[in-house]
Amino acid sequence: MPSSPPRHSRAGARCEGDDHKPASEAPTSPSPAPAADVIEAASQPGEDDEFDLTDQSFNATDGLTSVTSSVYACTYECGRRYHTFKNGRYPIPNDDQEQDREDMKHAMLMELTDGTLFYSPIGDRPQSILDIGTGTGIWAIEVGDKFPSARVCGIDLTPIQPLWVPPNVEFLVDDCEQDWLPRDVDLVHFRFVAVILKDIPGTLKHAYESLRPGGWIELQELEGMPYCDDGSMGDDDPFRTLYQLAGQAYAKFGMSATIAARLEPLLRDAGFTDIRCKAFKIPIGVWARDKTMRLIGLYQKTVVLEFISTFAGRPFQALGMSPTEAQVTVAHARAALGDTSVHRYFNYYFWYAQKPLS
């Protein structure tokens, strides 16, 4: 990983946090002690067409960074494009459809957090920020715009980032599970990445070494398991079954779909202190009483409907499922999502923690 420019340090301020207990590896009930409130359901469920999700402002632009030709190598399976760098070990496509989906997730989280890009208290004039697994680079670009004092570096295995970016933002192709060269970093940010990593302890250790004393790490992660607080989702719910199977499939790739709920001990073991967590429940679909939560639920349902078809590719192949069996499993889950009387939600966890000052 390339080195970062020199940094002028700032001490981080404290902020409030929540206690958090770890969830089991394959949870069948809600994760213990998330800080999020129960989502109140509407007496009459909403309609998807209440909102227009065709706003293009979150779409990534075209263009690529200057990298060697081998990192562009792709393969096509079941009509989707996969990246082949590092032997294609990332089982999720990197095509336009997936990039649009990632940007919609960004829009959803901006709605959820009222535009909060991160919770780490790094002050107003950070000098160096890393965005690990930057994807389309949308988070890095917005952070670069908001903090002109900072050099923002987005790092990803796959070169899908735009060319035209703020002058303080750059993108690099690299593997975050290998050694890191940047030093004196104020903030290392991961979003929707922990689930993909094979060696989280090693990656957190790299982040720790790259941070300046007093610098912050932040991981914004989805727990890949649907939950329900009012009993409307049965044990045999097809959508829940799909995610249980997906969890087994991801494990075959050395990934844990539910790691988001269990990052606290990993952060502690890596040496971080002042570990904090903000947990949110995001409805899947338009069943919430609150209008903003209905919009967020529509975003969530839209991104999940696009995503679950990818389970029928590499993940379910890894479980030995036939293509037909895989497609039928996904189709049942897709149909189940149309039932707004089932109040499913996902847990999102925003973990942030500090490298000790001394």
Ligand X SMILES: C[S@@+](CC[C@H](N)C(=O)[O-])C[C@H]1O[C@@H](n2cnc3c(N)ncnc32)[C@H](O)[C@@H]1O
Residues that bind ligand X (CB under 6 A): 90, 102, 106, 133-136, 138-139, 155-158, 175-177, 191-193, 196
In the chain, what's the furthest Cα-to-Cα distance?
57
CB of 114 to ligand X, least distance (A): 18
Strands 345-354 and 185-191: unpaired
Both structure tokens of 139: 């988070």
How does DSSP classify residue 352? E
Query: Closest-CB residue for ligand X?
Result: 135
| Torsion sign, CA atoms 315, 92, 312, 89 | negative
For residue 322, the tally of other CB atoms under 10 A from its CB is 10
Which CB sits closer to ligand X, 41 or 132? 132
DSSP codes of every residue in 24-72: PSS-SSPPSS--PPPPPBPSS---GGGS----GGGS--S---S--GGGG
Which residue lies nearer to ligand X by CB, 58 or 339?
Answer: 58
CB atoms within 10 A of CB 37: 10
Specify the residue, 51 or 139, whose C-beta has the smaller distance to ligand X: 139
Smallest distance from the beta carbon of 186 to ligand X, in angstroms? 18
Report the nearest approach of ligand X to the CB of residue 92 (Å): 7
**Do the beta carbons of residue 156 and residue 134 sit within 8 Å?**
yes
Q: Show the beta-strand stretches assigned E in 79-234.
A: 80-83, 128-132, 151-156, 169-173, 185-191, 211-222
Least separation in angstroms between residue 177's CB and ligand X is 5
Nearer to ligand X, 158 or 340 (CB): 158
In this complex, which beta carbon is closest to ligand X, that of residue 173 or of residue 312? 173
Structure tokens at 87: 């032997």
Based on CB atoms, which residue is closest to ligand X, 135 or 285?
Answer: 135
- Residue in 187, 205, 110, 98 with CA at minimum distance from that of residue 151: 187
| Contact (Cβ atoms closer than 8 angstroms) between residue 97 and residue 302 | no
Q: Of 162 and 214, which CB lies nearer to ligand X in the complex structure?
A: 162
| Minimum separation from the CB atom of position 56 to ligand X (A) | 17
The CB-of-101 to ligand X minimum distance in angstroms stands at: 9
Least CB distance from residue 183 to ligand X, whole Å?
A: 19
